[in-house]
Structure 1
């Protein structure tokens, strides 16, 4: 089982290199890694299990974060709807790429965090509000998906990891809490 001990932290060279494209279909070892990444996220979101295994809650993780420089990410975004029995978006994406995106940008009101970053880094992280992605699932099937708002932000954050980019690279170093014109803060009423 993947735990926080397996997650490399900022400063590790693997986090700054462009990950290798994966060959489809995945081999058994790669499929196991994919399942483990998703299992980590689900476990980390269960308060009792997270405490038991000392996991920080996460909604996304990229293979480079466990020191495997391959283009694979896992996301597990729970639904906002308290009645929902299924997560809003939960899957492993192999060789994901953004094929189109909105001009409109958005960001999280509290900034972003990362399992590989152990410190608070204040600042708005501009992301596309809507994206269309193409990726392969674990079984090697090509998938296309439209995402918006929080799931879109999560996927963009994880794809950045595949390209050696950390979320704080996108924060304005001179004025981290300045909202660029046209940037919508997710969940804010003033738009």
Structure 2
């Protein structure tokens, strides 16, 4: 079971390097890693389990956050309309995106960052992703709003980019041009 002790923190080198492409079909180990990552997210959102094991709630996690430099991400959350996004993906790539931007009005957080980081993180308002799922099937997703932000955050991890790298250092609360806030 993955716990907070398994998650590397922001000074760890795996968080600043591009992760390796994962071979498909997936190995048993890669499938198990994806399943473990999904279970961590579910556990982190279960109040009883989270309290018992001192887990911080997360909606996404990437293998580099476990010190594993592979292009593997897991996502588990419901959007404001109640649509469940629950999947493990390998080799996710943003293949197209909008010019329009968005940002979380409350800012972003990260399981690998133990401190509050203030500021807006500019993201594409709409993205299209291609990836491979845990069953070796190709996946194409069109996302907007909060789901688009979550996926971009995790894809950044496999590219060695932390969310705070995107915050305007001169003016952290500068509203990104051509953007709209996501509550």
What's the secondary structure of 1:36's corresponding residue? helix
What's 1:166 paired with?
162
Whether 2:147 is the aligned partner of 1:186: answer: no
Whole-angstrom CA distance in 1 between matches of 2:56 and 2:127: 27
Point out where structure 2 has 5 or more consecutive residues left out of the alignment: none
- What is the Cα deviation at residue 93 of structure 1? 1.1
- What is the Cα deviation at residue 22 of structure 1? 0.4
- What is the Cα deviation at residue 178 of structure 1? 1.2
Q: Deviations over 1:5-52 (max 9, x none)?
A: 000001011111100000001111110000000110011011111111
Whether 2:116 is the aligned partner of 1:120: answer: yes
What's 2:125 paired with?
129
What's 2:80 paired with?
80
Q: Residues 36-185 of structure 1 correspond to what in structure 2 (within 5 A)? A: 36-81=36-81, 84=82, 87-185=83-181
Over aligned residue pairs, what C-alpha RMSD do you find? Answer: 1.0
Contact 2:19 2:159 in 1 (8 A): yes
What's 2:33 paired with?
33
What's the secondary structure of 2:61's corresponding residue? strand
Point out where structure 1 has 5 or more consecutive residues left out of the alignment: none
What's the secondary structure of 1:147's corresponding residue? strand
Aligned residues: 183
Q: Which runs of 4+ in 1 moved over 3 A?
A: none
TM-score, scaled relative to structure 2: 0.97
TM-score, scaled relative to structure 1: 0.93
